[in-house]
């Protein structure tokens, strides 16, 4: 549902393929949070079907049959199909006599026919093993490019042996793990204790038995993936005497936003201080959404969400906290902490659901409305502390607005938003019905115009 611009011709006809076609027609996508996603297992790994799709002049029928073989094998990526050594694909993977032991629930399908296995082998050779084009089917096929180190990924394939830098593990019939520790003999490990799970840094290996001891056939080879950063995100955090704020039992916080009505840019600034206004923790950031439909409601809620997330991540949720905001609608919807799935169709549903879920984890927190811009008629020094903090946030958001430029990157969905709709690079967070219809109207009009012109051309004697 995310990459709807990628063609997937091997999918069976059904609800999923229909929804993908409709979303692709609109130039839209849906990102569903809190769901399992397949992970690459090694450096140089790739989705098998993604690689087959890239082959020139490949037939749709062949892709469909190859995908049936892949599902029968219960593998998703090249690393799961290849041998653990990472240099070849065993011949048994193309005969139907081997299937990976997987923790996932796979479709119940009949075994592919010999003709299907021939097609699968031919496409795999084209994609990964071009030098083995004329290898007989009984031989393992070497990879053009050997796979690299293992990644610390979640693995659904249940291998027999694993290792870390100092320990080996053997999976038992009960899915526990026999632990093997190093001995005085080089590359020899002896049985030790049993544990219920693997350490996250363990990766699959092959071994040989020497009595009750194990000898690994591969060295420990794990690497961390490069960290990716969103080019449009900022983290302008200011801390002044933060220790005083952290040690206070009761704290006061406020958030405000600023929206440019011309280009739709928006920023927020939130501030945390003590009830005596001693110490300060402040953050400015950009509000991400479709700039054409940006509004102060989205900006205010984005600031509140960022503030509450920061308080939770930094263990402030056990304190007594008072949060003030000058947008009454935001305050009203946060009063009742009961979360309902019907909020998915509300404006800014992603922020509402995520913010309310996080607020429910606080020990004692109140969110109250404060009148904005009180400094227009009352001197700043005469304002109550809540109003002063609101004025400070308003000025901070406006100041930050002068330092940013609009980003064209697609913003990431909030973790607690369940499902987020995108049309092009823009997150759809309000006016869902109107904006989901808009991409269809010009397409329909252009189709009508094309059909009308074709009809006129055929009717014309000239």
**Gap between the Cα atoms of 353 and 227, Å rounded:** 28
Angle of helix 385-401 relative to helix 296-313, nearest 10 degrees? Answer: 110
Chain centroid to Cα 351, Å, comes to 17
> Does residue 245 or residue 435 have the better pLDDT?
245
CA distances from 382 to 254, 326, 374 (A): 18, 18, 10
- Which of 95-104, 231-240, 299-308, 436-445 shows the lowest mean pLDDT across its residues? 436-445
Which pLDDT score is estimated for 29?
A: 76
Q: How confident is the model at residue 14 (pLDDT cuts 50, 70, 90)?
A: confident
**Gap between the Cα atoms of 392 and 19, Å rounded:** 47
Q: What does pLDDT average to over the chain?
A: 83
**Gap between the Cα atoms of 266 and 428, Å rounded:** 16
Q: Residues 190-212: pLDDT tens digits?
A: 999 999 999 989 999 999 988 88
- Which of 44-48, 73-77, 433-437 shows the lowest mean pLDDT across its residues? 433-437
Q: Residues 335-360: pLDDT tens digits?
A: 765 555 455 556 677 788 888 888 88
Q: Domain ranges in the chain?
A: 36-142, 161-216, 236-401
Q: Residues 161-183: pLDDT tens digits?
A: 999 999 999 999 888 999 999 99
**Gap between the Cα atoms of 179 and 173, Å rounded:** 14
Model confidence pTM above 0.75? no
Q: Residues 386-399: pLDDT tens digits?
A: 999 999 999 999 99
**Gap between the Cα atoms of 397 and 141, Å rounded:** 60
**Torsion, Cα of 157, 160, 162, 166 (10° steps):** 170
**Gap between the Cα atoms of 179 and 198, Å rounded:** 10
Q: Residues 39-49: pLDDT tens digits?
A: 899 999 999 99
Looking at domain 236-401, its CATH superfamily turns out to be Ribonuclease H-like superfamily/Ribonuclease H (3.30.420.10)
> Does residue 111 or residue 420 have the better pLDDT?
111
In the chain, pLDDT over 90 holds for what percent of residues? 51
Query: Residue 233 pLDDT more than 50?
Result: no
**Which residues fall within 8 angstroms of residue 61, CB to CB, at 6 or more apart?**
none
Instruction: Find, among 358, 347, 354, the residue nearest to 418 by Cα.
Output: 354
**Gap between the Cα atoms of 350 and 149, Å rounded:** 37
**Gap between the Cα atoms of 207 and 198, Å rounded:** 17
Burial (CB count <10 Å: 0-12, 13-18, 19+), residue 78: buried
> Does residue 404 or residue 241 have the better pLDDT?
241
The answer to whether 363 touches 318, Cβ cutoff 8 Å, is yes
- Which of 275-279, 371-375, 416-420 shows the lowest mean pLDDT across its residues? 416-420
**Gap between the Cα atoms of 205 and 218, Å rounded:** 6
């Amino acid at each position: 549902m995310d990459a709807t611009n990628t063609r997937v011709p091997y999918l069976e006809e059904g609800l999923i393929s229909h929804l993908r076609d409709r979303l692709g027609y609109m130039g839209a996508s849906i990102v569903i949070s809190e769901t399992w996603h397949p992970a690459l297992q090694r450096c140089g790994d790739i989705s098998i079907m993604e690689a087959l799709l890239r082959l020139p002049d490949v037939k749709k029928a062949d892709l469909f049959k190859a995908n049936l073989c892949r599902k029968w094998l219960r593998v998703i990526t090249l690393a799961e199909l290849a041998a653990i050594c990472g240099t070849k694909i065993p011949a048994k993977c193309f005969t139907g006599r081997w299937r990976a032991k997987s923790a996932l629930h796979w479709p119940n399908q009949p075994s592919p026919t010999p003709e299907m296995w021939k097609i699968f082998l031919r496409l795999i050779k084209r994609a990964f093993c071009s030098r083995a084009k004329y290898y007989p089917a009984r031989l393992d096929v070497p990879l053009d490019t050997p796979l690299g180190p293992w990644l610390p990924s979640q693995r659904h394939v249940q291998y027999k042996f694993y290792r870390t830098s100092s320990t080996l593990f053997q999976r038992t019939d009960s899915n526990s793990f026999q632990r093997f520790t190093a001995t005085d003999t080089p590359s020899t490990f002896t049985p030790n204790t049993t544990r219920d799970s693997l350490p996250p840094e363990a990766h699959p290996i092959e071994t040989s038995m020497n009595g009750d001891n194990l000898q690994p056939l591969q060295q420990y080879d794990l690497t961390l993936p490069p960290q990716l950063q969103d080019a449009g995100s900022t983290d302008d955090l200011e801390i002044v005497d933060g220790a005083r704020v952290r040690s206070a039992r009761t704290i006061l916080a406020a958030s405000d936003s600023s929206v440019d009505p011309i280009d739709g840019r928006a920023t927020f600034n939130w501030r945390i201080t003590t009830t005596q206004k001693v110490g300060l923790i402040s953050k400015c950031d950009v509000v991400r959404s479709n700039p054409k439909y940006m509004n102060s409601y989205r900006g205010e809620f984005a600031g509140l969400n960022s503030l509450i997330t920061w308080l939770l991540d930094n263990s402030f949720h056990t304190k007594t906290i008072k949060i003030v905001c000058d947008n009454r609608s935001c305050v009203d919807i946060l009063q009742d902490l009961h979360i309902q799935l019907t909020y998915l169709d509300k404006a800014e549903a992603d922020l509402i659901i995520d913010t309310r879920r996080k607020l429910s984890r606080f020990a004692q927190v109140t969110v109250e409305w404060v009148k904005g811009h009180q400094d227009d008629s009352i001197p700043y020094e005469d304002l109550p502390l809540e109003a002063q903090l609101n004025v400070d946030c308003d000025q901070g958001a406006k100041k930050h607005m002068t330092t940013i430029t609009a980003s064209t990157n697609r913003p990431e969905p909030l973790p607690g938003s369940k499902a987020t709709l995108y049309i092009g690079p823009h997150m759809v967070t309000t006016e869902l019905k109107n904006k989901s219809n808009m991409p269809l109207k010009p397409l329909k009009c252009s189709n009508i115009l094309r059909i009308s012109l074709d009809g006129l051309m055929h009717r014309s004697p000239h």
